[in-house]
Structure 1
Amino acid sequence: MRFYYRRCRPIEPNEIQILSTYDHSKANFVSAIPRLGDGRIEVDLDSKVCRTVAKLIPFPHDEKQPPSVPDYIQPAICDVQLNIVIQVVGSRGDVQPFIALGNELQLHGHRVRLATHDVFESFVLESGLEFYAIGGDPTDLMAYMVKNPGLIPQMKSLRNGDIQRKRSMVAEMLRGCWNSCIGHDPVSKVPFVADAIIANPPSFAHIHCAQALSIPLHLMFTMPWSSTRAFPHPLANLKYSTTEPKIANYISYGVVEWLTWQGCLWLFLPLPSGLHPAPELDSFLRSGSSPVYIGFGSIVIEDAVGMTNIILQAVKSLRIRAIISRGWSNIGEVSSDDKIFYIGDCPHEWLFQHVAAVVHHGGAGTTACGLRFGRPTAIIPFFGDQLFWGNMVASCGLGPRPIPYRSLTSTKLAEAIHFCLQTEAKSAAQHVASRMGHENGVAAAVASFHRNLPVNDMRCHVFPSEPAVWQFKKSSKPRMRLSKLAAEVLVGHSRLHLGDLQTYYAQPIHIENRRWDPVTGTASSLIGTSTDILKATGDIFYRPYQELSRVPRSSSESDLNKSSAVQSRRINFIAEATSLPDSSAKPTSKLKATGAAMGGSAKSVGKVVGYGYKGMLVDMPLAVSEGLRAVPRLYGDEVKDHGKIQDWKSGATFAGKNFVHGMADGLSDIFTQPYKGAQEEGAKGVFKGIAKGTLGMTSKVSSAALGLVAYPAHGMMKSLYTATHSKRSKLIAQARIEEGKYLSEHSHKGLGKNRQTILRNFEAACRRTADSGSS
């Protein structure tokens, strides 16, 4: 599997060329609706919107030659042993490379937990990793993606209730991902609190879990998720006429999403040892020429019978042998014969060594595995990045042009397979396999993870091989950092008390809603506030109905039974609509229900008032101020960073800095901008400078004045939120205390020696603090 992650070598344009399947003549706008129904986004770089966005994307104009030994394969030392949770949402092909990564991390002394769907429990546990179920059904997810490959679902899915079911599934996975960070091991009941998170982007909760725990987050994905000049974003259909191709490719990533990752490798599980095929499969492989593999893995195809007929007709027309994987769609007929053999689950790492070519959906893992063994590849893409990989394969001569599954016919499939069986395709595939054989993707991925960890900031001061999660409040600044084990040992030996400790934030994460200009900033804030008010207004009437609908309408036995049945259906409906935790709750009494109804209505009235005041006094002034502050970025100037707002104090500091710099820079722009323009473009630059100076003065001075109110108010809201949402912090602290106790109580190699080391280093640190204080 290929992983893309931070600070790795960019692919150079001369390494891979991509063939465009985009019809530039028919798209003249930026659309969020994929034109081909395959999940891609149509992006017109000649449009006004894209030209504006392009100005906000920093483009590296200086080409740098890659070093003789790329930095992404250099080893990185991490002597701190971490609890690492790997969160993965997707199919088996998405999970498998993270198992390889987890096994490699274990070799470095880390404790690794893989959190994914329940169906992969045995797959993960058999690899030697800890498993944590996050819920969700990957079969349903794949079926939904096949039916709705784009960003906007089809009406059929809306009518069938697919959206509500998907939302419920996502909510379940969000809870599961959070629990995987602090929950005990489901089997051994050993406590676990994550010190770092590795995740694929579709796991949704990763950034929020990392923010709550203030721990490092490392995103890895199986498709290009970084800005590069070599090819456009896999999910972007590009149209451009005036933009240079390299720049267009680079900008496409910023248009689809702001990205920060670079580079790529393949990651594979080790080849299975001692694996023997079923006797029937072994007999089939030995009884004739090498077959062609045809399968679509985890893709759930609506018309499995139709797909089966297409495959069989193509195979028969070519008079070849084939192995057909039934996959999650259960394609194929009842029984095999001497020409066609049907299989269920079989490791691709073994099977692809025994076939002549592979035909599949274009998943990154399956594509990588086929090319790893030098097998020509034909790709039938369904959605997402699959068309991208199909184009990559075709551009390198490893297979034919990809055939979108909706346009697949037996004739087209037969032509694609015929292409793969030619000598030229086989030679190209062998060449790529030879190049891939020189990569050690797993080791490189672990090195990247270690390189990007703030190891020195994570290290415990008295037990350096453990990550710090506490600070000793009575020590001098910078305060002494302590690990879970160190804190428990010190508390157990009466060197300190739990009250002396406070949470240490190894890598705080601040998520801000970035504003690009005052117009869109104000509009988005207004829409958000209006939405909150409308929802709360609806609850004024809906909450009473919700409570009263739980009360039986008749007290007679027969009427009660009838009412209970109706009520049960009503409650189930309400629970589905509002995500109630228990849709089978018992009916309440009329008096109690009436009180609850009145309370719910009153609470909703309070929310209406609260949202209104918050929007008018905090959100909208902040949006306008931030939008005004961002205006200089639109014409190429930098915007000063005044730090992060975390509480009322940092909010006031931010407001002060913004006022001073805004007033000073705004007033000076009237003179400096025309001068800069004259130096760069002469008389023409002077006029541009006057326009920039005027705009800069207006925006900066206005932001400075309005920010005196907006930023302190924003800081106070954050302080209030922190004060009223302390339950999460207490939950995290308790989980860390429990793990510390477990580590201290359960004997393991060197524990006694570790205790002495902790006590000795703590006393030495305290003496140094005392000496520095007396001097």
Structure 2
Amino acid sequence: MASDGSKITDERDPDRSTAADAPPSYDLASEGNLLTEVPKVREDGRIKINLDWDVIERLSLLSIHGPPSLPPKDGQSSAPPPYSSGQHGEDDQQPFPIKLNIAIQVVGSRGDVQPFVALGAELQKHGHRVRLATHNAFDRFVRDAGLEFFPIGGDPAELMAYMVRNPGLIPSMQSLRAGDIKKKRAMMSEILRGCWRSCISPDPVSNVPFVADAIIANPPSFAHIHCAQALGIPVHMMFTMPWTSTEAFPHPLVNMELGKSSATKHMSANYLSYAVVEVLTWQGLGDIINEWRESIDLEHIAFSEGPRLAETLNVPFTYCWSPALVPKPRDWGNHIDVCGFFFREAPSYTPPPELEKFLAAGPPPIYIGFGSIVVDDPSSLSEMILEAVRITGTRALISRGWSKLDGAQSTDVMFLDDCPHEWLFQHVRAVVHHGGAANHFLSQPFWGDMVAAAGAGPSPIPQKSLDVSQLVEAIQYCLTKQAASAAERIAVQMQSESGVQQAVKSFHSNLPRDLLECDVIKGQPAAWTYSRKRTNLKLSKAAAEVLLSHLKVDKKGLELHESRRTVIQTRRWDPFTGTIGAALGVSADLARAAADTVVKPVKVYHQRKKDTDTNTSPDLTAADMVTLRGQGPTSVNGGAKSRHCLSTARTMAAISGNGAADFLKRLSSGAIIVPFAFTEGLRHLPHLYGENVRDYGEIRDWKSGAAAGGKCVVLGLYDGVAGLILLPYSGAQRQGAIGAVKGVGKGIAGLGSNVFTAVMGVATYPLQGIYKSILHTAHSNTRRSVEAALLLEGKYLADRRREVGLGDSAVMEHFDAISKGRPGA
């Protein structure tokens, strides 16, 4: 929930603002009574929160969501609605006409990656080029499935080990002392950089150029929306656990406690739980994300916008679980789908002789395995499992997994290495596993609860409290007829689903087809916009290369095409908090820049001193060393030190100068940002008493800034004067004489705010536009690198067309026909 009323819009509907009609609280943390006690972490990693109902009731009035869904009555089940592929329209049944470069960004374990391998294979059937960007450890796994692979860094084993120690959002003291947080933040920074490279870098093996036309990602990759914003392309989120606010159930990481509160109160608390998780997540990673955004020439995102960014932007979401297990909540919009689990095609597998022999030697065993989970004491866990197997009298296949479980084997127990679950699970009676739909720790308690609610398994047991007696009881429940019957009922419903195919339809249905396709070569995605005289065309990478090589178009006439523009702006809801918020942000930037003039040179000094102590100097060239060697030992050391000291002093002075220049730059930008925030606060003042405010559009450059300034004067004054008449009239219709009096007050307030806005806006809006134009010009490195990558891939694609006999003449003729406006072009 945005704490200062941020406005976040999506160019799919530029006239629609996704901000709340009423301003939310400016500082969620300032609500002193929100939490009745300090949040605690349960054994399963979820946050235990007791909330004050009065605060929930106030915040729920400001939530951005539709009418509440009614829970089923006691004893009445809520039947899961079947997924209907027709809900997006008839065209979804047809092959998608445009062949895209799709970057799939996934962070997690193998269980998180595997569903996207299935998705990538299905996307390839539609003619798309698919690149799966994930951790280096999954290179072979992805490539063996026939997909392109791009390494983004990060160690999934280290990530899983960290999550075992810290299964929730709040780290333990043990992790803090061990420096785990610093390591995780460094890993996240590496992953963000890797995700950006995955969008524009050639294949690391074949060196074939690649620039993404669309992004699919799971939420923990965190780079998705920002990469899409920098490239101006669509992004689609997919995940194995709920990540969208709903009243149906709380966030899987939050254990809400409201006692005997009513169902309505529970529903509002459920919805709020998602904001709690988002705020805590952004609090831990927001600075890293903003530093990385700055490196790709994007502006920082304010704390008010960072949490729930995907929701406020209405980013399409596809959840890959079965609606037979968890139906789609009624308060999720049409851009959110629940389509079924992603199952890959069963791999060809021949079991080793010892496994065949074990399966044939007795009744079907149970399977016990925890996949990519890394536990601290695998030997103790192995002993616990073997003891539980002995007590229950079952046969067991135990997967060693990443924890390297091991122990004595017998006719009733066999330890397994990697084995395809699609084949193996057809030969076992029950499965004991980590509980996640993938292997991601965040989803495990939630899915364990869902399986238990369906009757197909016992309640999940937190790993830290697991003992032999609990494991024995859980295994015995899984072997009952009740559990088998529930599992069979769910399996029958799942057989009618085709999750991965439905997910591809969901992805296609949310793409902006009209803005996506090239005007010259049909079926190719547009990457450039060409504007000259009366010609305004969308050109693909190959079309632009052909036309450039034949001098049909001028490079100066080409601009990067945005098939979906993402706009993130901070909306100020009144002049006071708006100005204070902007001033605090500018002050923080100034303090950071001022500190850099001292801190960074000191760091350089200490690093150079370390280099000197180890007899290394990065500033001494090979020629320097040859020269110094001819001067004897004493001269060498003295000369080297002198040169090193001089170089260090120059470097420190240069860095300090850069810090001072940055300070002046931020000071000058603050002189524009703060008055602009004050003006925006004035303009949005009518929101405080429930009235709509006209949107003047995004300020991108000096032209749009000047246009906004003109609208502010003309339309603002018109709205202010009109409000003196219309507001009392509409108020009288609703509430009679009292409403008319209120309308007069609103009209006078609106006129005042519009007059002051016009006076300020005639200067601040154009200045903001000039500031944006300067930023666009000054921060052009990323834009140039994207342009270079597009030209490189364009040449590659054009050469490929020529190799298969598709000459350039047809492209040029089509371009000429469109340019001259011929019929049928």
Please tell me the TM-score bracket, short chain as reference: 0.7 to 0.9
TM-score (norm 1): 0.82
Summarize the alignment of residues 192-341 of structure 1 with structure 2, pairs less than 5 Å apart: 192-239=210-257, 241=261, 243=264, 245-246=266-267, 248-250=269-271, 252-253=273-274, 256=278, 258=308, 259=311, 260=314, 261=317, 262-333=336-407, 335-341=408-414
- Between the aligned partners of 2:106 and 2:195, the Cα distance in structure 1 is 9
- Between the aligned partners of 1:45 and 1:692, the Cα distance in structure 2 is 33
Deviations 1:492-547 (A, max 9, x none): 33433434433222222222234455565445434433332232222222233233
1:767 aligns with 2:820: yes
SS at match of 1:85: strand
* 8 Å Cα contact 1:656-1:708 kept in structure 2: yes
Deviations 1:463-489 (A, max 9, x none): 111112123332525x02211111222
Change (3 A) 1:53 1:661: farther
Q: Which residue is equivalent to 1:59? A: 66
* 8 Å Cα contact 2:117-2:344 kept in structure 1: no
Q: Which residue is equivalent to 2:651? A: 596
- Between the aligned partners of 2:664 and 2:672, the Cα distance in structure 1 is 14
Q: Which residue is equivalent to 1:432? A: 490
1:652 aligns with 2:706: yes
Q: 1:135, CA displacement in angstroms?
A: 0.9
Q: 1:692, CA displacement in angstroms?
A: 6.0
1:142 aligns with 2:160: yes
Which of 530, 536, 541 is the aligned partner of 1:484?
541
**What is the aligned residue count?**
705
SS at match of 1:84: strand
- Between the aligned partners of 2:146 and 2:403, the Cα distance in structure 1 is 30
* 8 Å Cα contact 2:43-2:464 kept in structure 1: no
- Between the aligned partners of 2:50 and 2:760, the Cα distance in structure 1 is 36
Q: Give the partner amino acid of 1:498.
A: K
CA RMSD of aligned residues (A): 3.5
- Between the aligned partners of 1:94 and 1:318, the Cα distance in structure 2 is 32
Change (3 A) 1:235 1:430: same
1:609 aligns with 2:616: no
Summarize the alignment of residues 658-737 of structure 1 with structure 2, pairs less than 5 Å apart: 658-665=712-719, 676-681=730-735, 703=757, 705-737=759-791
- Between the aligned partners of 2:50 and 2:217, the Cα distance in structure 1 is 28
Change (3 A) 1:27 1:598: closer
Q: 1:102, CA displacement in angstroms?
A: 0.9
- Between the aligned partners of 1:61 and 1:695, the Cα distance in structure 2 is 33
1:441 aligns with 2:499: yes
SS at match of 2:349: coil
Q: 1:695, CA displacement in angstroms?
A: 6.5
Q: 1:431, CA displacement in angstroms?
A: 0.7
* 8 Å Cα contact 1:52-1:634 kept in structure 2: no
Change (3 A) 1:755 1:748: closer
Q: Give the partner amino acid of 1:765.
A: I
Change (3 A) 1:318 1:699: farther
Change (3 A) 1:515 1:43: farther
Q: 1:355, CA displacement in angstroms?
A: 1.5
Q: 1:179, CA displacement in angstroms?
A: 1.2
Q: Give the partner amino acid of 1:547.
A: V
Bigger mean CA deviation after superposition, 353-362 or 523-532 = 523-532
Which of 44, 49, 60 is the aligned partner of 1:42?
49
Q: What's the % identity of the aligned pairs?
A: 45
Q: Give the partner amino acid of 1:132.
A: F
Summarize the alignment of residues 408-557 of structure 1 with structure 2, pairs less than 5 Å apart: 408-474=466-532, 476-477=534-535, 479-515=536-572, 521-551=578-608
Q: Give the partner amino acid of 2:150.
A: Y
Deviations 1:584-618 (A, max 9, x none): xx996211211221222232233333333433x23
Change (3 A) 1:326 1:67: closer
Which of 407, 417, 421 is the aligned partner of 1:344?
417
- Between the aligned partners of 2:682 and 2:254, the Cα distance in structure 1 is 31
Bigger mean CA deviation after superposition, 38-47 or 107-116 = 38-47
- Between the aligned partners of 2:531 and 2:272, the Cα distance in structure 1 is 48
Q: Give the partner amino acid of 1:167.
A: R
Q: 1:702, CA displacement in angstroms?
A: 5.2
Deviations 1:130-184 (A, max 9, x none): 1111111111112222323333433332322222222221221112111111111
- Between the aligned partners of 1:65 and 1:686, the Cα distance in structure 2 is 47
Q: Give the partner amino acid of 1:233.
A: H
> Which runs of 5 or more residues in structure 2 are unaligned?
1-11, 13-32, 71-79, 279-306, 318-335, 619-639
SS at match of 1:341: strand
Q: Which residue is equivalent to 1:755? A: 808
Deviations 1:424-451 (A, max 9, x none): 1111110101101111111111111111
* 8 Å Cα contact 1:45-1:51 kept in structure 2: no
Change (3 A) 1:629 1:299: farther
- Between the aligned partners of 1:404 and 1:521, the Cα distance in structure 2 is 45
- Between the aligned partners of 2:57 and 2:194, the Cα distance in structure 1 is 37
Change (3 A) 1:41 1:207: farther
Q: 1:326, CA displacement in angstroms?
A: 2.3
Bigger mean CA deviation after superposition, 127-136 or 531-540 = 531-540
Q: 1:703, CA displacement in angstroms?
A: 4.9
Q: 1:760, CA displacement in angstroms?
A: 2.1
SS at match of 1:218: strand
Q: Which residue is equivalent to 2:449? A: 391
* 8 Å Cα contact 1:516-1:631 kept in structure 2: yes
Q: Which residue is equivalent to 2:104? A: 86
Deviations 1:224-270 (A, max 9, x none): 23344433333343355363555554555456553234221224343
1:401 aligns with 2:459: yes
- Between the aligned partners of 1:433 and 1:525, the Cα distance in structure 2 is 55
Q: 1:455, CA displacement in angstroms?
A: 1.6
Deviations 1:314-347 (A, max 9, x none): 22222222222222222332x4222222223222
* 8 Å Cα contact 1:57-1:254 kept in structure 2: no
Q: 1:204, CA displacement in angstroms?
A: 1.6
Summarize the alignment of residues 80-119 of structure 1 with structure 2, pairs less than 5 Å apart: 80-119=98-137
SS at match of 1:589: helix
- Between the aligned partners of 1:76 and 1:40, the Cα distance in structure 2 is 45
Q: Which residue is equivalent to 2:87? A: 71
Q: Give the partner amino acid of 2:665.
A: G
* 8 Å Cα contact 2:436-2:448 kept in structure 1: no
Q: Give the partner amino acid of 1:510.
A: V
Deviations 1:55-110 (A, max 9, x none): 24131469999997651595254211111111111111111111111111111111
SS at match of 1:365: coil
* 8 Å Cα contact 2:157-2:374 kept in structure 1: yes
* 8 Å Cα contact 1:56-1:634 kept in structure 2: no
- Between the aligned partners of 2:234 and 2:657, the Cα distance in structure 1 is 42
Change (3 A) 1:752 1:65: same
- Between the aligned partners of 2:176 and 2:480, the Cα distance in structure 1 is 46
Which of 546, 564, 572 is the aligned partner of 2:614?
564
Change (3 A) 1:566 1:768: closer
* 8 Å Cα contact 2:88-2:509 kept in structure 1: no
Bigger mean CA deviation after superposition, 343-352 or 417-426 = 343-352
- Between the aligned partners of 1:236 and 1:700, the Cα distance in structure 2 is 43
* 8 Å Cα contact 1:83-1:193 kept in structure 2: yes
Q: Give the partner amino acid of 2:360.
A: R
